[in-house]
Structure 1
């Protein structure tokens, strides 16, 4: 039993409409689910992913209209990376970002890969990562109806970067409890991997004693989720985490997957999530994300929920 890799990353936006425009029309990702935060149904929860919404490709956003600015610091998921096919693709994106005035840095070598750091309009810290030399977890398949050519599309989530005030306890949780392995250090960041390893299965941790704690807002990340096979494995992980002394949520049914949440010692929220059943559970694969999806336990509240949301047109037909 092992963690298979990154499952999804969930972040915060203050404007669902502008967020949808950027991630679909600029980055060319597919909106595979338009739903609500099950813990606060007054806010959208948008899922962007690959062609089929495969686990390991989901970048999700909670809409919090009154979210203020993010003040970066420790206790944070400080960069989310997105995978692309090869080094040449990074040059395609560099030119596209230049044409569309997307805030970006130069292409650089990091952790033996070519990368392109950039920010979305709300300052979300992002990085494109080349899979040219990847030998680990397989990538997803870019959306065939994207505005981006198929061979240049985003294929999933890459390494997740954490910034902490004290490296040791976070490393201990990831290695001794969750089973990650140390790969090396690059630019003063510890690199850990799990499962088959590679781009889709890494966590990079930077220790910063010179920073204060991050004040999250729009453009910040709420949590990272790691992949487990199924509900039976998730229950075993619950017992392991409980035995280690970490308070946790217990198993939570998110309908599209089942989850367990806990905070590691630097207060970063970790989620373990099952690979299935997936986003086609309640929608046809050809029309994912085109209408508001609600899990069965919220369906009776649909009228009330829809009235609380600002309309968001995602119908592509």
Structure 2
């Protein structure tokens, strides 16, 4: 009989992290004890490694961590790149063209150039989204504006975010669809930018689900339990043996998705700390999830509303 090896994967913001963007003392104590006992635990986040490491420094993580929504998997302490998926150049070029034609929707490009990660933007196109993004990263060493003397290498882009009002992003997404045949793309809310949503896209092999599958293969894990709260978590919900949406989850209906939720998964506005409710048993044999909503994979039956964010083929 094959021994079960369960991998636990959590999103960070609004799931593991508190409303203050930190891991509570209770979570730190519980998770470090589970890790010491041999639990297979990691996170999958849309954050960069620099940002995610800053808020998880108290955790004694020992497995690869998944960043940029699955595009980049790294060693948790050193930040060594283990897997990086670059975007198609056509999608990059078209996103820049769309930014020029939409006054409120300008792309922010994440690149890997000269052996380093960079955040690149056009200083001549300072939209509300770009301004908010930069203001939250004032001292970030990755900031590198696109200039005449320092042009963008479009072949080095692995992740693009466009921050703006929902309607503008819906229009931009529609215009970009021809160039996104080999990309996964998500339109999500972010509590850090009220009134401004995020349209993010990256290589189709760079989703949380695909990255998790690669990590599971590396570890020899044969069972998966995941926790999340937003549209970019849906691909990993689809492949998990158990998936839990926190009660403050934000899902946005859309006809593009093939993932459905149970009708009971209507989120509340209440926030909570996952670490105070998730009890990982010694030797990872059970999970108690109070304050969570169990999400089951559905077959698209009538009466259920599909959720936004996933191309039919992206996982």
Same fold (TM over 0.5): no
Q: Which has the higher contact order (CA 8 A, sep 6+)?
A: 1
TM-score (norm 1): 0.29
* Structure number with higher strand proportion: 1
